[in-house]
Chains A and B, each alone.
Chain A
């Protein structure tokens, strides 16, 4: 589903992502872990054609995001970390707006499903600017899955959600993968990865330090946290 080869992104003199290669196969829940500023968001932006790589290449569902960003974004679902829905549309209007862009049918049914699952149907007629951050995140979640994509890329999936909703979302992601979908998440919260991911990558200062099954550190008798900290601190000291 995702194949990254030597992906590099420079912003001026700063190298945000440095020759990163990895792959994600169908039906996998892959977590890219790293401290703040390690290159996770830039990686998602490159994989979804939101920014072109400085060098290297990638394939997402068979398409090259650098050459066909619209094709990639048409296929996948994306939840960016920072973006918020348009201020002066209601939650329901925003989902209809996204459905219009994606040429979807049965829009009311699709919307109702997400209002029910994420329990924010009572906010459907409220302007997005008046929604709480948590509700906006639910709305961003709904827009990403409205077209039932086979692959979703999510930047910090549980940000601003309360513990009850975090449970709902984690269960949804696990079910989604069990039903054949593929998820790529980036996060700095190790517990999320430990709980739901099949495989992880650890990125620091733009370099991918490790990829492998999430159980690997546990199998060798170590917690993911100490494994992560040793890797990152070792890299920082190198």
Chain B
């Protein structure tokens, strides 16, 4: 089977997988939502230009698309488990090299091309289109939209090819991965010693966006194509046997939690989190690093906006980012795992909420640390109120709109739009109120009532939901 045929079959498969869950229209509108979001976001650029120079915004967006590439690559390679839990025994062409008369190398090559085209159409193109549409209104050259399309696509592909390469090494041998990581670390240290590490050298697509010259373009393509080609050459489905054995840790954990209803579910959540791909590293990369970035940005921001209290604003954003913990908790779980047991869906949701509350000790610790190290102890109480309320409210909106499937349902255009509309105004009001007086952040406690209402509604709303047949 030629690669083009495999590519088209995989494109069809990817579309049908998403449209089965969301409905064709719901999924087709997702790029439109991204375009609208980019359009309105670009319209606000001049307002914040003094605080956020355009090149800093461009850097953040390129970093975001790089991260997106990493996430798509990780999902593509480790997604079989996720798919099985979500849809039962999902069978995708990407996993079929043992049953089809096609080499794994050829399937993997088609898979990479498919992910490249599919996700550029889904994310990069609509984002660039929204930006281009806004350029006449903000006095920017429309050609910037085209340039952004190329450089953001490169940033996305950089993340995708890097994670594919590292995953391929991992599949071959953990020692190979560790060795490659060590070589990269030594090279990075040497480059740092020579003063050769700059943002542009780390992220060539961003350098290309700032200055569209052949050098950063060539470097970007080199950093994408070499790892991608190496991945295709080295790919294997004959993984080394890494079967791990564990003693019964469920019961001791449940015993410690016995004061809580659903202790076994909470213990299972903890084990899922610790034992799934990434383990505790997932927490570091998807939670603490973005928080560190937010904190650094806030330190810059306070130089330009008098009266802003970085701890309070950090607490608000911390509340929103904390809600992603719910995504981790539901990532490898599905209600179909319980439909043959005497379990109500509301019991599972309740247990997830308790797991969420326990895991919120982590962001709470971050908030305490931020308050202690920044000398902002005076506004700690309103910041604490803002963090707790926003975290609860964002969680409630997520649970109400997506049930146990936030990792899937938030791709539905209508669901995503409702999510944005429910969260953004409350956050902006809260941040503006706290600029007037940090103590006003305590007003966030008003969010607790709608949060409780939404959670109560979510419990009944998702009781009757059935996964579309797949």
Task: Report yes or no: B271 in contact with A84, Cβ–Cβ below 8 A.
Answer: no
B residues 211-255 near A (Cβ < 8 Å) are 243-251, 254
B344 within 8 A of A: yes
Question: B81 touching A129 by the CB < 8 A rule?
Answer: yes
User: Are A88 and B344 in contact, with the CB atoms below 8 A?
Assistant: no
Partner pick for A130 among B243, B466, B469, CB 8 A cutoff:
B243
Q: Shortest CB–CB separation between residue A13 and chain B, in angstroms?
A: 13
Least CB separation from B338: chain A residue:
A101
Chain A residue contacts of B344, Cβ below 8 A = 70
Chain A residues in 8 Å Cβ range of B248: 90, 92-93, 96, 125
Contact B249 A93 (CB under 8 A): yes
B254 neighbours in A (Cβ, 8 Å): 100
A88–B275 CB distance below 8 A:
yes
Query: Which of the candidate stretches A21-29, A73-81, A167-175, A223-231 sits at the interface with the other chain?
Result: A73-81
Known: A101-B342, A130-B243. A93 touches B466 (CB 8 A): no
Q: How far is the CA of A92 from the CA of B84 in the complex (A)?
A: 21
A125 engages B247 (CB within 8 Å)? yes
Does A127 have its Cβ within 8 Å of any Cβ on chain B? yes
B20 beta carbon closer than 8 Å to chain A: no
CB-based contact B264/A101 at 8 Å: yes
Say if the beta carbon of B85 comes within 8 Å of chain A.
yes
Nearest A residue to B80, CB-CB: A129
Chain A positions within 8 Å of B343 at CB level: 70, 73, 101
A-B contact pairs, 28 of them (CB 8 A): A48-B340, A50-B339, A73-B340, A73-B341, A73-B343, A78-B341, A79-B340, A82-B89, A83-B336, A83-B337, A86-B333, A87-B81, A87-B84, A87-B272, A88-B272, A88-B275, A89-B250, A89-B268, A90-B245, A90-B246, A93-B250, A96-B248, A96-B264, A97-B268, A101-B343, A125-B246, A126-B243, A127-B243
B contact residues around A89 at 8 Å (CB): 250, 268, 271
User: Are B271 and A88 interface neighbours, CB within 8 A?
Assistant: yes
User: Complex Cα distance A97/B343, Å?
Assistant: 12
Report yes or no: B264 in contact with A100, Cβ–Cβ below 8 A: yes
Residue of A nearest to B244 (CB): A127
- Residues of A within 8 Å of B, CB-based: how many? 34
Apart from A87-B85, A87-B272, A125-B245: 8 A-B pairs, beta carbons within 8 A: A71-B342, A73-B343, A86-B337, A93-B248, A97-B250, A101-B342, A102-B342, A130-B244
Interfacial chain B residues near A15, Cβ < 8 Å = none
B332 is an interface residue with CB less than 8 A from chain A:
yes
Distance between B265 CB and nearest chain A CB, rounded to angstroms? 8
Per the 8 Å Cβ criterion, residues 337-361 of B in contact with A are: 337, 339-344
B89 & A84 in contact (Cβ 8 Å cutoff): yes
Instruction: Name which residue of chain B comes closest to A51, CB basis.
Output: B466
Q: A-facing mask of B76-95, CB < 8 A → 1, else 0?
A: 00000100110011000000
- B299 at the A interface (CB under 8 A): no
B460 at the interface (CB under 8 A from A): no
Residue of A nearest to B274 (CB): A88
Interface flag for B263 (CB, 8 Å): yes
Query: Which 3 residue pairs across A and B have the least CB separation, nearest first?
Result: A100-B264, A74-B342, A78-B340
In the complex, whether A98 has a CB less than 8 A from a CB of chain B is: yes
B85 proximity list for chain A (CB < 8 A)? 86-87
Most buried by B among A70, A78, A87, A96: A87
Between B81, B85, B344, the greatest number of chain A beta carbons within 10 A of the residue's beta carbon is seen for B85
Residue of A nearest to B340 (CB): A78
Interface residues of B in 440-470 (CB under 8 A from A): 466, 469
A71: B residues at CB distance < 8 A = 342
Set of chain B residues within 8 Å of A127, measured between Cβ atoms = 243-244, 246, 275
Residues of chain B lying within 8 A (CB to CB) of residue A92: 248
Check B276 for interface membership: any CB of A closer than 8 A.
yes
What residue of chain B has the Cβ atom nearest to residue A98's Cβ?
Answer: B341
**Which residues of B259-311 are within 8 A (CB) of A?**
263-264, 268, 271-272, 275-276
The answer to whether A87 touches B340 (Cβ under 8 A) is no
**How many angstroms from the CA of A126 to the CA of B85 in the assembled complex?**
18
| Complex alpha-carbon distance, A145 and B124, angstroms | 51
Identify the closest chain B residue to A99 (Cβ): B264
**Which B residues lie within 8 Å of A90 (CB)?**
245-246, 248
Interchain nearest-CB distance for B273 vs A (Å): 8
Q: In the complex, what distance in Å separates the CA atom of A50 from the CA atom of B276?
A: 28
Q: Which B residues are in CB contact (< 8 Å) with A129?
A: 81
Q: CA separation between A84 and B275, bound complex, in Å?
A: 17
Which residues in chain B, 46-100, are within 8 Å of chain A measured between CB atoms?
81, 84-85, 88-89
Which residue in A73, A79, A96 is a CB contact (below 8 Å) of B251?
Answer: A96
A51 to chain B, nearest CB (A): 6
> Which residue of chain A has the shortest Cβ distance to B341 in the bound complex?
A101
